[in-house]
Structure 1
């Protein structure tokens, strides 16, 4: 009798688990293929070149006015297990640890970076990489001294992976995408002067992932044996040169949107007023990093097709700057002072498995070298 009860209980638990997994798979593991928006577009007059080749995958980058390139190893690769440095300055054909080799121990895992008008380089180090607190810091490019540091309370800005700074240097804006579709996205604004922050939570369609499956050279981007499709809400952001707009490009989302910076920086902004002021400006590819070029176009990495695309807010037209089938996952992107476009290939699908386990040294070695690319205008 007791055995029968136990068996029935086990059967019930197994059945309930199976039902749960089916629901999760249906809700979070489905998705459609996204069209190749650049397939029929002519490529602009840029020349693609491999600027820097590395032993470990690069993540994000920033370019100073003098042409020096700052970059990091992508934290998903956990290169700190094998390399004494993970943040670098590339100058005159040589990479050196930034701000120094000794200072590398102070980084818990840098993700996004940007250089502001005050000649400071900013880093975001999200807590989602197995840490308790998200960290924001800034260093002077000339003296290499740390000028700013802020530690968010536990649980705040946990998934923030990108960072932008207003032209006056007073505010830092962080996109916090949440965990897939399980938790809502938010926009975090940090005051440099007051060392305080506000967070605007939003369920607006522009802030959430849509039902798409990202295709990579290694197959569909899925996790946990296909139970979850890789889905990310607000990820790439950029402030327009006139400081009027914040552009929003959620990764697995088909729409490029923007919201007035006056709304973003207003501490009284509510979720409702934020949502009411979001403007859908047009279609975009499945993207990771975004930036704005000197013509005011929003440049986006097309992670499915190894290319860079441009959206013109004035005409609402897309164009293609260039790319290569050899590029696995175009990631961070920035425009130099002379108009050249720099971007990384973090190659994430080549080494990150469905359980998101840190890759072994031998796994990373299989795909060397990893590259940072530059798109140069023809004739320059």
Structure 2
């Protein structure tokens, strides 16, 4: 008799009440393969939770944490630049500069987006100048330098035409003190329309210009598909309306010696570089600059880029709710992957810690049929650049 017949007979006897209760054995669990890459990975801690506006820019200097809250997507009434102090946000450098007011746009902070520090530990920010639903006002878009030692603005460089276009979106910046008497600022204009470019500004003179606007490394790739929160979304204007955060050159970072600028379009998976000595030279033509651009290959979709002291590049990834690291040999490591890492945006390396803002930008109403799907709080997280080496217990001193 087969085993299955024995089990079936036992079940019948039990039902008839003629023998002690017996049950058929549970069928063996059917093995199912799982995607090992779907589980959270990498340690991180939540530095702050924000229940008001969504954060974007982040910079840390001298142990002080500064966060930018742009107004180009939502014209909020909070501070556009704040210092995180004792768990509270304080308008920075003061309320008169960072809070909404009737002061002329050139004299106040309108919409702080990307942020960074220079080799002297000073804070720099790009004010994209844009208020949601309003045209870009003269004097609104500018480069801001603040000295944390005095909490005073020491540089205010207004961007103007032809460097600034009506649809400009001055997105992020890096400051190189090795070129120019007071340094050179490199800015990514990812564009609210279809006109991205790199922008170069000499701090001492305020001289400025757009470069490489027509180069493929600056433009958004099209057609382009991204998978965001499990949804396959296509960027291919004008045939397809933008259904996720998209644009031209966006992420930007410098090598530790400031000799190389790395950059990437938002709607792209590629990473590019160019020598800063050439980019800072206002006498170089676009054709000359183009010959020096290097395509460094794929790095995934990225919003923010940051570099550590070893020259490793940290790249946010809004498709995988992750932050990756590109090593010097071109290999990659997963630093953080977690469902809470939604729209990782601004990223900054301070010593052996990496900070990143999570703004949920893909959930804005403009990408979701007019429905704002964001769910506060928004987060500022951080994680170590390197995990501590395991302790060898056999080498520990006794007792």
Task: Confirm or deny a common fold (TM above 0.5).
Answer: yes
Select the structure of larger CA radius of gyration: 2
Query: Retained in 1: the 8 A contact 2:252–2:261?
Result: yes
Q: Sort the Cα spacing of 1:279 and 1:166 in 2 relative to 1 into closer, same or farther, 3 A.
A: same
- The CA deviation at 1:154 is 4.0
Q: Sort the Cα spacing of 1:43 and 1:340 in 2 relative to 1 into closer, same or farther, 3 A.
A: farther
Query: Retained in 2: the 8 A contact 1:62–1:71?
Result: yes
**Which structure ranks higher in relative contact order (CA pairs < 8 Å, sequence separation ≥ 6)?**
1
Q: What is the 5 A alignment of 1:34-113?
A: 46-55=42-51, 56-64=53-61, 66-78=62-74, 80-81=76-77, 83=78, 85-104=79-98, 105=100, 106-113=108-115
Q: Sort the Cα spacing of 1:225 and 1:344 in 2 relative to 1 into closer, same or farther, 3 A.
A: farther
Residue number among 132, 136, 146 corresponding to 2:143 in the alignment: 136
Q: Secondary structure in 1 aligned to 2:258?
A: coil
Query: Retained in 2: the 8 A contact 1:114–1:121?
Result: yes
How many residue pairs match? The answer is: 330
- Whether 1:237 aligns to 2:237 is no
Deviations 1:148-197 (A, max 9, x none): 111122453322210110134511111123355x33x3221111111111
Q: Sort the Cα spacing of 1:43 and 1:246 in 2 relative to 1 into closer, same or farther, 3 A.
A: farther
Query: Retained in 2: the 8 A contact 1:216–1:304?
Result: yes
- Whether 1:150 aligns to 2:157 is yes
Which whole-Å CA distance do the structure 1 matches of 2:58 and 2:229 have between them?
Answer: 24
- Whether 1:352 aligns to 2:365 is yes
Gaps of 5+ in 1: 1-37
Which whole-Å CA distance do the structure 1 matches of 2:70 and 2:369 have between them?
Answer: 14
Q: 1:286 is matched with which residue?
A: 301
Q: 1:197 is matched with which residue?
A: 208
Residue number among 128, 135, 159 corresponding to 2:169 in the alignment: 159
Q: Sort the Cα spacing of 1:114 and 1:221 in 2 relative to 1 into closer, same or farther, 3 A.
A: farther
Which whole-Å CA distance do the structure 1 matches of 2:39 and 2:330 have between them?
Answer: 16
Deviations 1:50-109 (A, max 9, x none): 110001311110011x2211002243442523x3x2311113433221111222242111
Q: Sort the Cα spacing of 1:370 and 1:228 in 2 relative to 1 into closer, same or farther, 3 A.
A: closer
Query: Retained in 2: the 8 A contact 1:343–1:372?
Result: yes
Q: 2:224 is matched with which residue?
A: 212
Residue number among 114, 132, 135 corresponding to 2:116 in the alignment: 114
Which whole-Å CA distance do the structure 2 matches of 1:356 and 1:174 have between them?
Answer: 31
TM-score, length of structure 1 as denominator length = 0.79
- Whether 1:323 aligns to 2:337 is yes
Deviations 1:123-159 (A, max 9, x none): 2122555323421111111211111111122453322
- Whether 1:295 aligns to 2:310 is yes
Query: Retained in 2: the 8 A contact 1:288–1:300?
Result: yes
Q: Sort the Cα spacing of 1:102 and 1:155 in 2 relative to 1 into closer, same or farther, 3 A.
A: same
- Whether 1:272 aligns to 2:272 is no
TM-score, length of structure 2 as denominator length = 0.75
Q: Sort the Cα spacing of 1:207 and 1:39 in 2 relative to 1 into closer, same or farther, 3 A.
A: farther
- The CA deviation at 1:274 is 1.1
Q: CA RMSD in A?
A: 2.9
Q: Sort the Cα spacing of 1:43 and 1:326 in 2 relative to 1 into closer, same or farther, 3 A.
A: closer
Q: Sort the Cα spacing of 1:202 and 1:153 in 2 relative to 1 into closer, same or farther, 3 A.
A: closer
Identify, as 1 or 2, the structure richer in helix: 1
Q: Secondary structure in 1 aligned to 2:366?
A: coil
Query: Retained in 1: the 8 A contact 2:163–2:209?
Result: no
Which whole-Å CA distance do the structure 2 matches of 1:356 and 1:107 have between them?
Answer: 30
